[in-house]
Amino acid sequence: MAVQPGAIAPVHMLPGRVRLQVVGLKDNRLLGQKLVEGLQKTTGIIRATATPRTSRVLVYYDPQGLRVNDIITLLGKMLAAPAAKLAPAGRAQGQAASLPARLAVQESASPARYEVTVAGLPAVWYRLTGAEVLARLGSSAEAGLSEAEVQQRQQVFGPNILAGPVRVSPWQLFKKQFQDLMVRVLVAASGLSFFLGRLRDAAFSLGVVTMNACLGVWQELKASSALTSLQQLAAPSALTTRDGQQRRLPASELVPGDIIYLRSGDRVPADARLIAATDLEVEEASLTGESVPVRKQVAPLTSVNLVAGDMVNMVFMGSSVTRGQGQAVVVSTGKATQMGQVAGLLQEGEQLTPLQASLGELGRLLAWGCLAVSGVVLAGGLLRGQGVLEMVMTGASLAVAAIPEGMPVVVALALAFGVQRMARCRVIVRKLPALETLGCTTVICSDKTGTLTSNEMTVRAIACGRARWQVNGEGYRPGGSFTRQGPAALTAEDDLRHFLTMAALCCDARLLPPDQRRLRWSVEGDPTEGALLVAAVKAGLDLQVLQASYARCQEVPFNPEDCCMTVLYRDGEGRHLLITKGAPEAILARCDRVRWQGQVLPLTPARHRFLVRQGEAMAGQALRVLAVAYREDGTAGAPLIFAGMAGMLDPPRTEAREAVARCLAAGIRLVMVTGDHPATAAAIARELGILRPGGLVVTGAELEGMSDTELERLVPAIQVYARTSPRHKLRIVRAWQQAGGVVAMTGDGVNDAPAVKAADIGLAMGKNGTDITRDAASLVITDDNFATIVNAVEEGRTIYANIRKAIRYLLGTNIGDVVITSGAILAGLPLPLLPVHLLWLNLVGDSLPALALIKDPPAPGIMRQQPRAQGHNFLAGGLGRQILTRGILIGLGGLALFTWRLWRTGSLAAARSLALASLLVSQLIHLFDCRLQDGSGWRPGYLANPYLLGAGALTAVISVATFNLPLLQGLLHTVPLKGGEWLLATAVAAVSGGAALALARPSLH
């Protein structure tokens, strides 16, 4: 708030009604009047009264538009400016301001009453201990808040969101439709017609313009609402505790007092005071400008007047956790956060895609061309003695009908509808330009685990010393058995239980049994750790007893650079136990001893080679191998004792094989990038069809030894990268880009973010991905499935094809209107179309049919086409010639019918009616021939798009009504047409359409 803490506090609340205690109002009637006047000028305030005797303000408000916190903020601003001048003499302004603000909320339905101390200044929080912060916020580190408390606080503080961009009202959008010069000329000419007594023409012209404006408003509102709704799909989430249970909730639902948990890769959802932290580092560049991560602490600070960057026991909304983990209590949400205070400066303008920008330029060029033609028509008519008013109306109507003013909106709607379809296919679009780039994708670099595979790891083999076991059982259900293979000592069973004990302790995941919400056993956390827990339970270990026997003292989270994770425990007797798990080669490099047939023996070169061969044998069976080592004195950095290794299977997804085949048919190369053993990676890649004869498998170590030039030379042949770290991904992306590829790169971890951002299309995983990676990505794959990525490519190609069809339709029909009108003027003929005819054609033919085309589903052959070149000219591939040819033939066909009918009957009304019928039928045929060939193969399949059938049927009905409905006959100056005339108009339209397709066929192929 703008006012110091303690100045305003709610004392009683009901929905739509709040009573506030305002310090400084006591016996100050002038201040009370000013506050009431200011409140009642605010939108959403129904009524306000002030009582100086009790220092209270009663406000009735619209709860749909305002929150209590908004009213408090408004009052605070009024107190901060004029209150000092209005306060009674003798009252020090600083006295009340120094008090903590106490918020007492009492629901009338419940006698229960609680108090929450809310500080308005961040300095209050960083100077308090964690226990003091929790006490003042009425929260608990273990139980968090209750749902009842959360609901009450949400009434006060509102949603945890920043102020969004200002929305344009429908009325403003409606006025915007009349900003075009030619529309204003048409309105002015219609007004002149009205004063000259041509009431019917003036009313109809204004009616059509108004209907066009309403359609424009509807289209813009539809596009805006579609894109706004999609923002909710990508809303961040937070892991919090409510009623003693951990749950993941949308960050917008957080309130002060909520307990949140942070881990490496998370985006901080609100301003919070840390109450626990382990190696926690947070990057706060968005607030402080300092790109170096800040190491956080829990202890209170004694300094005063610190800036946000120096509050090392606080975390702030919008910052990113780069290392470690922590627990914090939320102290500020939404506009009250540090980020909220500068939200207005951070809002971005509307983002145009390259296609929108290029089509906008094309639209401007077409508009100037149409205006030039309209000017020629106007001048030609005046030179031939036509009436000034009639020619002004004709020129303006021709410009309105010919200028593709709806093109930008149609493109925006096509993108919005496409994004919605992708959301239904489990793809969230974060950056609109990615929709265009998808159709250009030539390379997809994909992770293996969870993307190409099912991400439900199962331990299949365990090796401890000389002994090896085969493990049976499927998935996460802890049922199965161990079968020992080969000779081993009697103590081998003890080695197995010891290994699984160490492995289970070195896990953060949880094994969850079936319940009312889960129909089967599941794992919360890393699937690899889940597989180890399942194997431990299969061996008879009780995980709850095991966890109760050891207290975790410290943890070093998994680091992709070191390929391991380490935990430190203390048992009931005070002894320490350090456990590390990770890649076998990384773990073996840290060991000098090994548990071998029940004994701890030196790790000799022979034993080292034996263990390496065991790991390679597991990897050769497409198993992911994980090793575990330990040290019983807990000394960090000292050599470890090798306990054993487990081989896990993560089977390929069934749908991934088909998706890989679709990619190859579409001319898209696939590259697997994984941290697994080369043999494991090669086996999975070969099974999926990614690794083909002649393809190379390269490890991270071999990649390190390559120069950039050498990598660029070899990159087209490398199909599998194994044992890679996230930093290698950036080199792979850049090498492919140097080779001319358009690269899509998947990622989930924090260190994947640079490669995901550098790729032409960054793909973040929605389930296991971190917030930082999702922020850097163009698309978020919510189910982490490779098949979904391929579906996204198909949708991207479809969106582009649909936009081409819609633009082809709009420009073709508009050119037809220009050709028939300008051709008649140049030939010395009467005007074939009246201004109302041109407006009617624009109204009937432009809006709904174009929208139907952008709703077209994917064509069957769209994934059998080669990728579109990046920077591809929108009108390339013969599209420009198709548009021009079709438009000219539509116009010439209508002009020929007009001339013939005028010569045969001498009736100008009959000739104009036949010409208008020809154009209406041509538009209808053109609507369907735009879809007949869309660049992805010849396909009728009209039943697949019910919107197209509906738009076509509506156009046909309106066309018939134009000449048979008395009301429209009078407004449009038309005469009824006979069956033979309809057949003639249809035949001419069909012949012109067939001729256009025949002329365009060479370019289509």
What sign results for the dihedral spanned by CA atoms 108, 110, 114, 119?
Answer: negative
Task: List Cβ neighbours of 524 (8 Å cut-off, separation of 6 or more).
Answer: 509, 510, 512
In terms of phi and psi (left: phi > 0; alpha: psi -120 to 50; beta: otherwise), the region of 231 is alpha
Integer Cα distance of 4 and 119 in angstroms: 9
Residue type, 797: R
Residue type, 7: A
Which helix H or strand E contains 567, and what residues bound it? strand 564-571
Q: Residues 582, 563: contact at Cβ < 8 Å?
A: yes
Q: Residues 804, 873: contact at Cβ < 8 Å?
A: no
Q: Catalytic: 817?
A: no
Which helix H or strand E contains 466, and what residues bound it? none
Q: Which residue's structure tokens are 């708030």? A: 1
How far does CA 215 lie from the centroid of its chain? 28
Integer Cα distance of 366 and 408 in angstroms: 13
- For 411, the token pair is 């493109």
- For 967, the token pair is 């009301």
The strand pairing partners of 260, in sequence order, are: 240, 328
Catalytic entry in 201, 258, 271, 447:
447
Q: Which residue's structure tokens are 């344009």? A: 168
- For 168, the token pair is 């344009």
For residue 723, CA distances in Å to 171, 249, 317 come to 59, 35, 35
Which of these, 267, 2, 258, 38, lies nearest to 154 by C-alpha position?
258
Residue type, 846: D
Residue type, 8: I
Q: Residues 496, 516: contact at Cβ < 8 Å?
A: no
- DSSP annotation of 942 reads G
Integer Cα distance of 568 and 199 in angstroms: 89
Backbone angles phi, psi at 113, to 5 degrees: -135, 135
Q: Residues 133, 124: contact at Cβ < 8 Å?
A: no
- DSSP annotation of 941 reads -
For residue 992, CA distances in Å to 207, 891, 897, 919 come to 32, 9, 12, 11
Backbone angles phi, psi at 580, to 5 degrees: -130, 140
- DSSP annotation of 453 reads B
Integer Cα distance of 33 and 52 in angstroms: 10
Residue type, 94: G
Q: How many residues does the chain have?
A: 1005
Largest CA distance in the chain: 114
For residue 467, CA distances in Å to 45, 489, 527, 604, 610 come to 77, 8, 25, 17, 11
Task: List Cβ neighbours of 617 (8 Å cut-off, separation of 6 or more).
Answer: none
Integer Cα distance of 744 and 746 in angstroms: 7
Burial readout 512-527 (b: 16 or more C-beta within 10 A, e: otherwise): beeeeeeeebbbeebb
Angle at CA of residue 54, ends 51 and 56, nearest 5°: 60
Task: Please provide the DSSP assignment of 910-926 as one string.
Answer: HHHHHHHHHHHHHHHHH
Catalytically active residues are: 447
